DNA sequence: TTACTTGCAAATTATTTGCAATAAT
DNA sequence: ATTATTGCAAATAATTTGCAAGTAA
């Protein structure tokens, strides 16, 4: 059901964006980093790009492009999927957002700034994603890159593992799947 | 996507050394592992599945589903894309093939058995994928999983980095991009 | 025989692209 | 004023699915 509400003009968007509660210093830093990046690259600063960045940094956790698009839509931001994808690319390029593949259909994104870097363990049974961080692994990566003549920019490490804990969704999953067993 | 280089660099030699041709004995083992897996799971052994497995283990390096499909077609095997995808899933499930996302359109696969585990560095400039291995990283991963109650099955680590060597394909790439895309 | 697996083609999903309108510089 | 960026819809790319026929167990 499409709502035929009058469309918010760019100017209104900009005004609204500027009057948002100045929650955290972090946000300002993030926006500043993005602005500088855009300027350096000769890209333009647009209200859409600001809004996307702000939305990403307003919540924690992983998300995919479409989830972000829908969240924006629900907040009455008329920002197209194309712009969401475009902006995500830019944010990945300037390292404010990281891109992960958890082995499934689409890419997942995650904000980077203000958080310690972490890696992921994906449960083979229930698919849930857990985080961990390990400085020694990071150290080794730096060492490897140095020795091979690379200047490391980013990395993603995913571990696929069987969860041996009792609170894993595994059994629930099994119950569901046994009804529709197929060739897989 | 990998670009054909004119002259093999030291780095490429090292990479190549990691991906030598398999022994015949190994191939038998691989087939045996697959058979056992199928039996255990109640899946059927079919000639198509054997052929796909054999094709994967007959060559080195990364490949994607469509490349594999085309290779099979060229050898006059009438195996559908659906079967290729299906079989790849099975091979990943039984750990004979690993699945990697290098951050782009599709997934890449790689045979696992008979090779030391390695991780990947993707050059931000030319997109070429290099391999490395580091036992300390593996150790740390095991430790992390143990402490978090996971039984590790597989992992993928990708480092995205800028190549600082002079023999990076970056410039060649730039030059080639003005022409038409070719080979694969 | 039973029902899993196949090839084919159509469907689906995620992402990209063409284009005219709009807005940043 | 110039041209990057936008929203929209159509297009594409990768993968999955439905179905009838084939075949492993």
Flag if B161 and A144 touch (Cβ within 8 Å).
Answer: no
Structure tokens at A85: 């994808």
Residue B91 has pLDDT above 50, yes or no: yes
The helix/strand/coil state of A54 is helix
Structure tokens at A29: 């830093």
Give me the pLDDT at residue B168, please.
62
Pairing of strands B150-163, B119-123: parallel
Residue B184 has pLDDT above 70, yes or no: no
Q: What distance in Å separates the CA atoms of residue B184 and residue B182, rounded to the nearest whole number?
A: 7
Q: Residue A24 in contact with residue A44, Cβ under 8 Å?
A: no
Give me the pLDDT at residue B163, please.
76
Q: Which residues contact A85 (CB under 8 A, 6 or more apart)?
A: A65
Q: What is the mean pLDDT of chain A?
A: 78
pLDDT band at B31 (very low <50, low <70, confident <90, very high): very high
Is the distance between the Cβ of B142 and the closest atom of strand D smaller than 7 Å? Answer: no
Tell the residue number behind the tokens 């009058």, with chain if given.
A6
Q: How close is the nearest chain B Cα to the Cα of A40, in Å? A: 18
Task: Determine contact: A177 vs chain B, CB below 8 A.
Answer: no
Structure tokens at A139: 């150290």
Flag if A103 and B103 touch (Cβ within 8 Å).
Answer: no
Q: pLDDT tens digits for A142-168?
A: 999 999 888 888 888 999 888 766 456
Q: What is the mean pLDDT of chain B?
A: 78
Closest residue to D17 (CA to C1') is: B82
Residue B22 has pLDDT above 70, yes or no: no
Tell the residue number behind the tokens 């689409």, with chain if given.
A106
Pairing of strands A150-163, A119-123: parallel
Tell me A179's DSSP state.
G
Of B43, B99, B158, the CB nearest to A155: B158
Average pLDDT over residues A159-183: 53
Structure tokens at A34: 């993005």
The helix/strand/coil state of B178 is coil
Torsion of CA A32, A33, A34, A35, to 10 degrees: 50
* Cα maximum dimension of chain A: 59
Q: How many Cβ pairs within 8 Å bridge chains A and B?
A: 114
pLDDT band at B167 (very low <50, low <70, confident <90, very high): low
Structure tokens at A96: 């404010």
B81-93 vs B24-41: helix crossing angle, rounded to 10:
90
Q: Which residues contact A32 (CB under 8 A, 6 or more apart)?
A: none
Give me the pLDDT at residue B30, please.
93
Average pLDDT over residues B136-146: 94
Q: pLDDT tens digits for A81-139?
A: 999 999 999 999 999 999 888 766 788 999 998 777 899 998 877 677 889 999 999 99
Nearest nucleotide (CA of B72 to C1')? C7
Give me the pLDDT at residue B42, please.
95
Give the chain A residue whose CA is nearest to the CA of B86.
A184
Say how far B42 CA is from D14 C1', in Å. Answer: 28
Distance of CA A77 to the CA centre of its chain: 19
Lowest-confidence pick of A28-42, A92-106, B33-47: A92-106
Phi first, then psi, for residue A140 (nearest 5°) are -60, -40
Residue A65 has pLDDT above 50, yes or no: yes
């Amino acid at each position: 059901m499409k709502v035929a509400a009058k469309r918010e003009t760019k100017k209104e968007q900009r005004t609204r964006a500027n009057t948002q509660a100045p929650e955290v210093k972090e946000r300002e830093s993030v926006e500043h980093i993005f602005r500088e990046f855009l300027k350096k690259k000769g890209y333009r600063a647009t209200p859409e790009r600001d809004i996307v960045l702000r939305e990403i940094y307003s919540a924690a956790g992983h998300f995919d492009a479409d989830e972000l698009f829908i969240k924006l839509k629900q907040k009455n931001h008329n920002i197209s999927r194309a712009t969401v994808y475009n902006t995500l690319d830019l944010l990945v390029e300037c390292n404010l957002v990281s891109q992960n593949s958890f082995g499934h259909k689409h890419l997942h994104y995650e904000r980077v700034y203000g958080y310690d870097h972490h890696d992921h363990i994906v449960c083979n049974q229930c698919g849930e994603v857990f985080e961990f961080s390990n400085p020694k692994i990071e150290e080794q990566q730096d060492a490897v890159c140095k020795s091979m003549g690379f200047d490391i920019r980013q990395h993603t490490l995913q571990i696929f593992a069987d969860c041996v804990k009792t609170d894993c969704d595994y059994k629930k999953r099994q119950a569901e799947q046994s009804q529709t067993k197929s060739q897989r």
